[in-house]
Structure 1
Amino acid sequence: MSTRILRKTVISILLLLTLIVPYCNATTSGGVYPPQFTYKSGEWYDSWGITRTNAYGGNGYLPFILSETIGENRDIAFMMGENFRNSYLDRQNMAAMILDYVQTWVQYGYDVDNVFLNKVPQDEWAWNADELAYAFNETTGVAAIGDCEDMAFLCATLYLGAGIDIAIVDAPGHVALLIWLPDYPNANKYWDLTNDERGTGWIWVEATGPTNPLGWTPSEYTDGFWTAWSMDGDTYIEHDPVDNLTEDSEEGEISIWDIIITIIIIVFFLLSNRK
């Protein structure tokens, strides 16, 4: 073999390795793949120290499990989002296609029916976005199974990879997602978040139903009694919906017209009872 051919062969192998290595080194579940979890004090923890069986507390998965699949930890799910970004010029269409993608390849299922550790069904369990993305296979047609928080974190990672800002929604008994897409024309409600300072333009992403359209806020959450978590770099910022604050202040506020009407009623009552 000539030196020239040998050199070209070596270069080709090195180029191939640069493509393969990121995938070979890709890790999930706290930097370990296949996933490894540790049981202690009644909870299951991943290798990052996040508990997968409890949303709250100092080590709860909400919203911190998102950090396992973005930034320096980004892997397959974030790269999927980048592929969407490179494939669609229209952000609104891209955002709708990302939701459709998750609805297509993740089926809703209850944790207790689908998650078993040491042969014990788990009443509550959260998968991170990469674990869920590795669980479906477009080639063989195998879908993953997850519940609301699993779908929300997968969507969040995909949207971040696609360059769209997100906020994780923590609602009573439910986890969903908001994305910042103020120009999207088909939402049934546009949200404004405290501590955001951009005004109204957050729309709801509800992947739990296979036909839920982008921007549809379910009626049980239009009251705004939930919390949202957005990201500024590596920092999570907690928000309340502005609508919620407005409704609360209006409920407790007595207007001047309330006072005037009350006075008129009292005067009318006194005059009608005069002898």
Structure 2
Amino acid sequence: MNTRIAISALICLAFLILSWQAPAQNFYKIKGEIYDSWQICRTRPDGIDGYFQVTEEGFRPIIIFESLASNTNIAHKLGQEFRERYSDFYQRAEKIYLFARNQIRYTQDLDQFGYREFAQNADEIARE
């Protein structure tokens, strides 16, 4: 189970590491909120249509599943490299954290998009 979580995290991490905003699909505005073509609200995490689908029943980060999978092979290869280099789960987690900390450039959503929150899916932030 921990290996699956680590590999899933690595896949997401690889998309983030290659970060640069790629052209997005169609967006539209309803009552001040921005939605994508999958009818997911990009400016709000809560609710059944929020990008994290935070409800009383639980949490389902739907934005993670919005992907055309164009970088899946890169993410898988990166995950395998970490797994081969660091057999100890905790050491591997620490190395992944350090890799992400040193490679990801963070930009505030307000500065970049003009909204306090604006979620992007993996393909939108992955370099072509």
Please, which of 34, 39, 43 is the counterpart of residue 23 of structure 2?
34
Tell me which of 5, 30, 48 is aligned to 2:38: 48
2:122 is the counterpart of 1:129? yes
**Cα pair distance change 1:81/1:129, threshold 3 Å:** farther
SS of 1:50 mapped into structure 2: coil
| Residues 109 and 118, structure 2, Cα contact 8 Å, conserved in 1 | yes
Residues 74 and 67 of structure 1: CA distance in aligned 2, closer, same or farther (over 3 Å):
farther
Shift, 1:58, TM fit: 1.7
Tell whether the 8 Å contact from 2:23 to 2:124 is kept in structure 1 after alignment: no
How far, CA to CA, are the matches of 1:84 and 1:130 in structure 2? 22
5 Å-filtered alignment, 1:245-264, equals: none
Please tell me whether the aligned partners of residues 28 and 36 of structure 2 are also in contact (alpha carbons under 8 angstroms).
no
TM-score (norm 2): 0.58
Which has a greater percent of strand?
Answer: 1
SS at structure 1 position matched to 2:102: helix
The match for 2:12 is none
Matches within 5 A, 1:4-19: none
* Aligned residue type for 2:86: Y
Q: Which runs of 5+ in 2 are unaligned?
A: 1-21, 53-60
- Distance of 2:99 and 2:37 partners within structure 1: 29
Contact 1:67 1:73 in 2 (8 A): no
Structure 1 residue 105, shift from structure 2 partner? 1.7
Query: Which of 41, 57, 71 is matched with 1:75 structurally?
Result: 71
TM-score, with normalisation over the residues of structure 1?
0.30
> Paired residues, what number?
96
Q: Highest Rg: 1 or 2?
A: 1
- Return the letter of the residue paired with 1:54: R
1:54: Cα distance to partner? 1.0
